Every structure is written in C-alpha cells, then in structure tokens.
A and B are shown apart, each in its own frame.
Chain A
Amino acid sequence: MQFIINGTARSADVDVRTSLLDLLRDHLGLPGSKKGCNQGACGACTVLVDGERINSCLALAVQYQDRAITTVEGLSDTSGLHPLQQAFIDHDGFQCGYCTPGQLCSAVGMAAEIARGVPSVVTADLGATTIALDHDELRERMSGNLCRCGAYNGIVDAIAETFAKVAA
C-alpha cells in the first residue's frame, strides 16, 4: 500500500485489517500518535487527513492510501516546534503528555474548521459565516480529546493563545 505521510511517500506491506494508527506506529516508525482507548473515545490517536482531523484508531489504513496524512511528527513545517507545541509548554498544557500529540493535531484541525466556518453545537447562529473561537466553542470543539491528568485549563489557554488570530 502507498501512503503520503508528513509530505513523504511511504509504502508498507500490511494486512487490510491494519488500522491507520497501527500502520503509523508499528510499520512506519512514527510512534507520536498514541493508542489510548483504541475505540474512538479518547482522541489520543488524532491525525490530520487532507487537513481534517480523524481518529486513526478507527480508520483502516487501506482506506487512506494516497491521502495527505499529517501526524504530530510532521506538524511543524520547520525544524523547530509548531507554535502550538511551544504554547503547550508555556501554559503547562500537559502532565504525562500521552494525550498531547492528539490534542495538538486536533487543535490544528479545529482551527481549520473554524476558518472554514464549520459550526458547532454551541454556535448560536447557524447562518454566521465567521465564528469566534470563544471559551465555549473551544471546549466543545475539543471534546473529542480527553486528558486524564486534567490539564484542560492549560490546554485551553495554549490553544486560545495560538489561534486567537482566527477569532472573528
């Protein structure tokens, strides 16, 4: 099977039962994406596919051939940290760090959704074409990522600071 991971063409000879998460971690040497619940409940496995966030544990790798997949290892387009990664450090957005790669990819995907005008269940005006990333919007949109250390306040602060510029 042929894949495009973090801008690089990769091939792997894997069984069709292989999840995208297991492909990344066990076959392509990219263990940044984490396996938490392995059933789509925790978000630790979140990656971006063509810029959209998904749970890679629920994805069969075979369905994602020739799509542009971005993992936490490819989040920054420089040799340094992505600004959101630095903000997580600055705001103590983690304790154990296990959920962090998923939180980071999810937040980047969320920012793209806000920029596209995708509403959420707390968006009062469904007709609005621009949506402000306020506190309630941010927490609702990040509800697919659990942090069992409870670092949510730091996570929210880091994301809000990084993506405040997309707020209308």
Chain B
Amino acid sequence: MTPFTYARAADAPAAVRLAEATAAAKYLGGGTNLVDLMREGIERPAALVDVTGLSRTIETRGDGSVVIGAAASNTAVAADMTIRAHYPLLARAILAGASSQIRNMATVGGNILQRTRCTYFYDDTGSRCNKRNPGQGCDAIHGFNRIHAILGSSALCVATHPSDMAVALAALDAVVHVRGAGGERTLPFVDLHRLPEAHPEIDTVLAPGELITAIELPAMSPAARSTYRKVRDRASYAFALVSVAAIVDTDGGAIRDVRLALGGVAHKPWRATKAETALRGQPATAANFRAAAEAELADAVPLRDNGFKIELARRAIVAVLGELTGVAA
C-alpha cells in the first residue's frame, strides 16, 4: 500500500471537511473492498476518512418510509425486523451477498460504492483496463468474459456492478442522501451509478468529496410482495451471474404495479423499465412474464463467453414473477 493519513470523522460535516482538506482522500467504511484495492495498488488514496462512526440508525418515519444511516452494517440492516417485515427483498439481497464476516464489517454506503470484480480490473500488472487506467484499453471485451455485462456496456468497458443490495435498492425506488462541500442533496438511487460510456473510470454521479449519509426507502404498499433471487456458480459466497429483485402488486389476477431490477448484467444495478411497462395493467400470466422478459433483454449484447446470461436473465425474471404471483411458469 502507498502511504496515507488516517482520520476518524465524528459526524458527516466533519467527514466532508476532512476529505476536503486532502486531495485524493477516500471515505473508509468497513474496508472490505477498499483495503483490498489499496493492497493491490489499484486505489492509492493519500488520506482515509473513517466514516464508520457516522449514523447507523434504521428509523421508520411517520409516512412509513425508512431511513438507514450509511454506516449501518450489512448485517444490521438484514437483521432489522422492520426491514425483514416490509422490505424482504432488501434483507434477502444483503444475505445473498458475501460472507457473514464481510457483512458484519461492510457498511451500507460502502456496499453501494464497491467497485467491479472484473478480474482484469484487479490485474494491475498483467492486464489493460480502462476503468483502472483510463485510455489503456480493455482486455475483458475479447478475453474471458463469462461474468461480464450484457446490457448497457460500451466499447471501453464491459464490467458489472457486483452488489446484491444495490439491485434491491434499485427496485425499491430508494433515495440517496448525500453531503458535500456545498451542503446536502438527495437523488434517486437508480441515478447514482452510471453506465460506462466514454468514462468507465467513473462509477457514480457523486462529485469528488461527496459522502453518502443515508438511504431512504419509500413506504411499501401493504399488498405488495417482493423477493430477491440470485443465480451463481456455487450455492453460497459467490457473486451473481444474474440476479432479480422484484416487487409485485396484483389486483384480481392483474398486475397493478411491478418494479424489477437485474444484477450481474450491467455496469450499474439495472432497472428493468421495459419489462415493467410491458407488465403494468396486464394479466399475471406466464406468457406475459415471458414477453416482458423478452422486451427487457431485446437489446442485450452477448460477449464471447456470456451469451448464456441472456436466457438465464429471462428465465430468472419469469421464475421470480411466477413465485410472487403464484402463477406457474
């Protein structure tokens, strides 16, 4: 690791001030990704601002929405009875990720801002990567790309976002609370991460020094059912090949509302708006589920090794919708 200074922030304003004081400062949560990246020489912050002392409360507000402090551990969120009762897809998504040890360490903010697990991104000395070294080239596009993106990639980057929790937050219409030098702002979670386009080195729309302080979950309709399904190479402790977060609200056999997001397929948690549009107001039937999945995956582009993800994603969508509506696929 390259040398860095360390400071522990007492609260969010102090954290932002500390980060402002040093160019190339990074916020440090549980460290489960950042420490690893620093050890590999991929991240080289001059300063770390420890934000694990910031708010970790999980608070239900009068309107039924829930606000989660960004320093809450992944375990604390998944174990929280309000989250388990009202946002089961979020609890299930978190529990589908990593190991117990890592979930105990990892914070909500850090989970959201973790970086891709593309093996070429990690291979600092042996591979070219536009995300790690802008302009260098990408060895994944024509390399071993079984785990890479099928949607929204660019000619410069085919990496995927690795978080499970973030897929659930995308489906939930979560809101991100951010603090920067200019004060506080909020933005929709689905707008936080960006597609690679010409700048794969930039993962999110956050300005330098901006800090995620909380995640807000809108109240869930009491009639809605939700879940998270993850398809991976082994039964536990593996990143998603494809995952689906879904919330479905049915009314007499018709789909009143549906929200779908996919993981493992794109540079960001992929909100499946085409499938949602195809389903909304339609009868909950296997044929409609399949048609919606087809609509969402119509633009999918396979690489050499990951064409299987397109059919896998279609089947996962159909299976999850079937599970939530009780309609046999």
B residues 1-29 touching A (CB-CB < 8 Å): 1, 3-6, 8, 28
Chain B residues near A5: list those with CB within 8 A. Answer: none
CA distance A127 to B85 in the complex (A): 6
For B6, B91, B98, B104, the residue with the greatest tally of chain A CB atoms inside 10 Å of its CB is B104
A140 within 8 A of B: yes
- The size bracket of the interface on B is 35 or more
Contact B100 A141 (CB under 8 A): yes
Chain A residues near B221: list those with CB within 8 A. Answer: none
CA distance A120 to B103 in the complex (A): 11
Chain B residues near A116: list those with CB within 8 A. Answer: 79
Interface string of A114-157 (1 = CB under 8 A from B): 00111111010011000000000001110111000000000000
Query: Contact check: which of B85, B88, B105 meets A55 at CB < 8 Å?
Result: B105
A158 within 8 A of B: no
Query: Contact check: which of A117, A121, A126, A144 meets B102 at CB < 8 Å?
Result: A144
Chain A residues near B32: list those with CB within 8 A. Answer: 40, 55, 58
Contact A55 B236 (CB under 8 A): no
CA distance A144 to B95 in the complex (A): 12
A118-B31 contact given A55-B102, A143-B237, CB 8 Å threshold = no
Contact A110 B88 (CB under 8 A): no
B residues 83-104 touching A (CB-CB < 8 Å): 84-85, 88, 91-92, 95-96, 98-102, 104
For B32, B50, B52, the residue with the greatest tally of chain A CB atoms inside 10 Å of its CB is B32
A11 within 8 A of B: no
Contact A144 B101 (CB under 8 A): yes
Contact B101 A60 (CB under 8 A): no
Contact B236 A121 (CB under 8 A): yes
Interface string of B22-61 (1 = CB under 8 A from A): 0000001011100110010000000010101000000000
Chain A residues near B48: list those with CB within 8 A. Answer: 16, 60
Contact A119 B78 (CB under 8 A): yes
Contact A58 B28 (CB under 8 A): no
CA distance A103 to B276 in the complex (A): 44
Contact B84 A126 (CB under 8 A): yes
Contact A58 B100 (CB under 8 A): no
**How far in angstroms is the closest Cβ of chain A from B172?**
16
B160 within 8 A of A: no
A110-B92 contact given A118-B78, A127-B84, CB 8 Å threshold = no
Chain B residues near A59: list those with CB within 8 A. Answer: 31, 35, 105
Contact A121 B31 (CB under 8 A): no
Chain A residues near B5: list those with CB within 8 A. Answer: 16
**How far in angstroms is the closest Cβ of chain A from B107?**
12
A120-B84 contact given A58-B31, A63-B52, CB 8 Å threshold = no
CA distance A117 to B31 in the complex (A): 26
Chain B residues near A113: list those with CB within 8 A. Answer: 75, 100
A70 within 8 A of B: no
A62 within 8 A of B: yes
Contact A119 B79 (CB under 8 A): yes
A residues 43-86 touching B (CB-CB < 8 Å): 43, 46, 52-55, 58-60, 62-63
Query: Contact check: which of A46, A63, A119, A123 meets B101 at CB < 8 Å?
Result: A46
Chain A residues near B88: list those with CB within 8 A. Answer: 126
A106-B84 contact given A63-B52, A143-B237, CB 8 Å threshold = no
Chain A residues near B92: list those with CB within 8 A. Answer: 121, 126
Contact B96 A118 (CB under 8 A): no
Contact A43 B50 (CB under 8 A): no
Contact B31 A63 (CB under 8 A): yes
Known: A119-B78, A126-B84. 12 other contacts (CB 8 A): A16-B4, A17-B4, A19-B35, A40-B36, A43-B99, A54-B104, A55-B32, A59-B31, A59-B105, A119-B91, A140-B236, A144-B101
- Interface set of A (CB-CB < 8 Å, partner B): 15-17, 19, 38-40, 43, 46, 52-55, 58-60, 62-63, 106, 109-110, 113, 116-121, 123, 126-127, 139-141, 143-145
